[in-house]
Homo-oligomer: A and B are copies of this chain.
Amino acid sequence: MEALRNRILEEGQCLGGGILKVDGFVNHRVEGSLMAACGQAFADIFRETNPDIILTAEISGIAPALMTASSLNLCVVYARKKRPVTMPDNAYVSSAPSHTKGGVTPLLVSPEFLKGGERVLIIDDFLATGQTIKALADLCRQAGAELVGVGALIEKTFEGGRDTLKGLNVPIHSLAQITHLSEGVIEVAP
């Protein structure tokens, strides 16, 4: 997606250690029109997979997932990282190593909002090692729901996420692919 690729090239910053800073349009400030266009792009790509619901992980997955849900006229469920007081005890729980924060992050979804048989489209901000998306897919498995696709705004192709997720046997699409990242150098696939 050209608008996103251009934005990464103009504003993205490599902070070292494989960390791409895109706080100006993904992780801290979000431009309504750019994110709406990304949601529309995901909707066009995944409409034929016929999803019932969008699943993402808080925090930075919410914006692209909500815009996709809005374009497809669906609901988005965002997995929580801490159990809120309003969540029942029988929540589905999975966990993923945190790339930028260190440690392991639990992901929780209430059985109220993820049902057996539902067709689930996962949308997230990044596809890097694929561990967060793998954890979301595991929540689907626990719920007896059917994963139908995976979409990410930005993929780091050199971190092996697609290999990690190969076993899911669903289409995986990203809107921008970073092929190389080192201090001062960000390469985005055309």
Q: Which A residues are closer than 8 A to B by beta carbons?
A: 15, 19, 21, 23-24, 27-33, 35-36, 58-59, 62-63, 66-67, 69-78, 80, 82, 84-87, 100-101, 109-110, 112-113
Contacts and interface: CB of A to CB of B under 8 A. Distances in A.
Nearest to A62: B62
A65 to B, nearest CB: 9
Chief secondary structure at chain A's binding surface: mixed
Nearest to A17: B85
A75 B28 CA distance: 10
Nearest to A55: B29
Contacts of A112: 23-24
A103 to B, nearest CB: 12
Contacts of A109: 28
Contact of A69 (B15, B27, B32, B71): B32
Contacts of A33: 70, 73
Contacts of A74: 32
